[in-house]
């Protein structure tokens, strides 16, 4: 029988990439559940929406009746749970939405799966999380691994940490076959333009300043979204319930190094007579900004037969070119919702700091 996979948040950045990979990987039926909030768009699912094995449901994972109806009607054999509020700056300005989607939404899905999958062993619930739940690494600290204790520092990472704990509790208490994954920073096509790489590319294309928080010495490990999607499929198919798998690209860069490299690519792909790097502007840092994230993906590589395949320079060039060449997608997802401006200023204002 054909397996039915429910992907929550499937109209978002990582989710839409995952839906494409699932449809290409086999004959399973894929059901996307997405609330189509500011970061989820039908435009990101242009090809899958017409695929005969793909079904789309507009709905909120935090709404118990919606989740129950999806389980009743489509009878999923697996869940890949990606629906989440995910931008740290937005969580600083409005944490309530993060608690609702990330915590309440995860609870509703776990409960629906527990009710519908009672007595079944072949089912899987893959809960997708972030490396930010582990806190901040020292410059010379060992990368995050399975044994790293949780130490979230932002409303976003705290809400994801809570959802991770729920997922593991439902495995240990109820025997729900849950696999938890944590990934480093993703990059690639169709990322909502509030995140660093698309923000820099699109602001540069407009001739605007290129903001870098503080000195720009925060370090992130970068993983191409397609590599992450393939890792999630490996976790679904080969992951052991109760275990966690960390996905990283082994591509650590400071924010300033990354922005400077994007400027180099823009000078080549979209020259305007002067180096784009001249428009880099150092702005007041984000409140509570973590210094460094880095992931050790060895366990995933060894146990899931997965490895990040995209060379960072190739992936970054492809990504910059994609945003330059897809103005229609950018215009559709931005509309009147976001102007590429600074977010996350409410905490600084409350402290009396200058933004």
User: Of these residues, 131, 194, 221, 290, which one is catalytic?
Assistant: 131
β-bridge pairing 252-254 and 219-224: antiparallel
Place of tokens 């559709």: 332
60, 85, 108, 156: the active-site residue: 156
Pairing of strands 178-183, 244-247: parallel
Task: Compute the C-alpha angle 296/302/304, nearest 5°.
Answer: 100
What is the dihedral sign for C-alpha 147, 99, 75, 42? negative
Q: Could you tell me which residues are beta bridge partners of residue 295?
A: 144
Name the 3-class secondary structure at 128. Answer: strand
Q: Residue with structure tokens 């309440």?
A: 104
Beta bridge partners of 11: none
Identify whether 151 is a catalytic site residue.
no
Please check whether residue 276 is in contact with residue 263, taking contact to mean a CB–CB distance below 8 angstroms: yes
46 noted as active-site residue = no
Is 301 a residue of the active site?
no
Give the chain's length. Answer: 355
- Catalytic-role residue among 34, 60, 108, 132: 132
Alpha helices for the chain (secondary structure H): 13-25, 64-74, 88-93, 96-98, 105-116, 155-174, 196-205, 225-238, 255-269, 298-304, 312-325, 327-334, 346-350
Residues with catalytic roles:
131-132, 156
């Amino acid at each position: 029988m054909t397996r039915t996979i429910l992907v929550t948040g499937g109209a978002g950045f990582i989710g839409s990439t995952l839906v494409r990979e699932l449809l290409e990987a086999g004959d399973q039926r894929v059901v996307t559940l997405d609330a189509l909030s500011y970061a989820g768009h039908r435009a990101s699912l242009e090809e899958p929406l017409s695929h005969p094995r793909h079904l789309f449901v507009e709905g909120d994972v935090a709404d118990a009746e919606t989740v129950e109806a999806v389980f009743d009607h489509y009878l999923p054999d697996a869940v890949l749970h990606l629906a989440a509020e995910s931008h740290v700056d937005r969580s600083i300005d409005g944490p309530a939405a993060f608690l609702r989607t990330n915590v309440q939404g995860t609870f509703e899905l776990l409960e629906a799966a527990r009710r519908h999958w009672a007595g079944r062993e072949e089912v899987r619930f893959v809960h997708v999380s972030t490396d930010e739940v582990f806190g901040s690494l020292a410059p010379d600290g060992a990368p995050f691994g399975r044994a790293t204790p949780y130490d979230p520092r932002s409303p976003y990472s705290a809400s994801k940490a809570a959802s991770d704990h729920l997922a593991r509790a439902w495995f240990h208490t109820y025997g729900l076959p849950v696999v938890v994954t944590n990934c480093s920073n993703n990059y690639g096509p169709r990322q909502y333009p509030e995140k660093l790489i698309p923000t820099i590319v699109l602001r540069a294309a407009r001739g605007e300043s290129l903001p870098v928080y503080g000195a720009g010495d925060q370090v992130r490990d970068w993983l191409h979204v397609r590599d992450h999607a393939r890792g999630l499929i490996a976790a679904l198919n080969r992951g052991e319930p109760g275990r966690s798998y960390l996905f990283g690209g082994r591509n650590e860069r400071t924010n300033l190094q990354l922005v400077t490299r994007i400027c180099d690519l823009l000078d080549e792909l979209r020259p305007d007579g002067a180096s784009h790097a001249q428009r880099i502007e150092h702005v007041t840092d984000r409140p509570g900004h973590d210094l460094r994230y880095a992931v050790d993906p060895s366990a995933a590589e060894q146990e899931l037969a997965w490895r990040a395949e995209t060379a960072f320079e190739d992936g970054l060039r492809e990504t910059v070119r994609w945003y330059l060449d897809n103005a229609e997608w950018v215009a559709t997802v931005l509309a009147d919702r976001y102007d590429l401006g600074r977010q996350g200023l409410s905490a600084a204002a409350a402290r009396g700091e200058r933004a």
